[in-house]
């Protein structure tokens, strides 16, 4: 079985500085807003819808960042090949509000804080996604 999801590294310019949005998922881990593709959607539409649903922010895609793939065991369907498309997304409007049915929280961080939180409490496969997104924004972080 194959499952496709999409999401993004959401950023905004606030008081002249770039801020990065991170979510705390239902397991208490730092992550990026993402979710499953619905019938008839493109990966881009999925990313923007999921970001809006999970965080309250309306954004626009700047460019693709990364596609990660992994396999997980589903209790009913067995082995699932998962593909997640991540985009660099600029927040344009909306009010930061976590979708509590899906995530525990959402907040804005300086790029340095976001990187520290990701490397300390995030999923390993998101390290490269966040590093690439920050690089696209002209921000280099050490590993």
Could you tell me the CATH number of the domain that includes residue 25? Answer: 3.90.79.10
Residue 142 included in any domain:
no
Domain that holds residue 96: 2-136
For residues 86 and 118, give the distance between their C-alpha atoms in angstroms, rounded to a whole number. 15
- Which pLDDT score, from 0 to 100, does residue 100 have? 87
Query: Would you place residue 141 in the very low, low, confident or very high pLDDT band (cuts 50, 70, 90)?
Result: confident
| 72 secondary structure, DSSP code | E
Q: Is 32 exposed, middle or buried (0-12, 13-18, 19+ CB in 10 A)?
A: buried
Number of domains in the chain: 1
Is 42 part of any domain? yes
Whole-model pTM? 0.93
Asked if the structure places residue 143 within a domain, the reply is no
The answer to whether residue 141 sits within a structural domain is no
- Residue-wise pLDDT for 46-103, tens only, equals 999 999 999 999 999 999 999 999 999 999 989 999 999 999 999 999 999 999 888 9
Taking the C-alpha atoms of residue 132 and residue 66, their distance in angstroms, rounded to an integer, is: 8
Mean pLDDT over the full length of the chain: 95
**Sequential DSSP letters for 2-67:** EEEEEEEEEEEEETTEEEEEEEEETTS-EE--EEEPPTT--HHHHHHHHHHHHH-EEEEEEEEEEE
Residue 83 lies in a domain: yes
Its sign, for the CA torsion 94, 95, 96, 99, is: negative
């Amino acid at each position: 079985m194959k499952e496709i999801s999409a999401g993004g590294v959401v950023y905004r310019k606030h008081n002249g500085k770039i801020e990065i949005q991170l979510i705390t998922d239902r397991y208490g881990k730092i992550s990026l807003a993402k979710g499953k593709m619905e019938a008839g959607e493109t990966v881009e539409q999925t990313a923007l819808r999921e970001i809006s649903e999970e965080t309250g922010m309306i954004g626009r895609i700047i460019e693709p960042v990364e596609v990660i793939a992994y396999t997980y065991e589903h209790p009913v369907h067995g082995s699932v090949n998962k593909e997640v498309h991540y985009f660099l997304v600029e927040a344009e409007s909306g009010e930061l509000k976590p979708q509590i049915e899906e995530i525990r929280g959402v907040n804005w961080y300086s790029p340095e804080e976001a990187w520290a939180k990701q490397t300390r409490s995030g999923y390993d496969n998101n390290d490269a996604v966040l590093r690439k997104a920050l690089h696209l924004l002209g921000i280099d972080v050490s590993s």
